[in-house]
Amino acid sequence: DVFDPSGNPQLAMVNMMRYPNFVSEEWSHVLTWDLFVGRMVWLDGIKRGIFTGHSVLFCNLIGPPGYLIHCATCLLTGKGLVGNEVPE
């Protein structure tokens, strides 16, 4: 139901949230992403002198797009991709 474009994905998510097992799995997944990827983005910004406020915010709000925003910020500032930095 969640991935059915003809259905109502929001209602399907609400229905799944009624199950404790789903809620505990979803929260652990979300917290892991927020804490570890958000922290990695923040530390990378400190290390390479890149502003990361917007990227960390989006990591916490919407997850993976926050990391993609950080990658785009790295490219736009000329610092290279994460893990593939341009030597100075």
More confident: 82 or 44: 44
As a whole number, mean pLDDT of residues 55-84 equals 89
pTM of the full predicted structure?
0.69
Tokens linked to 85: 């930095």
- CA 53 – CA 59 distance, rounded (Å): 10
Output the pLDDT for position 17. Answer: 80
DSSP code of residue 63: S
- Is the pLDDT at 46 greater than 90? The verdict is yes
Whether pLDDT at 75 is above 70: yes
Alpha-helix residue ranges (DSSP H) falling in the chain: 9-16, 20-32, 38-48, 53-62, 64-76
3 has pLDDT over 70: no
Query: Has residue 68 got a pLDDT over 60?
Result: yes
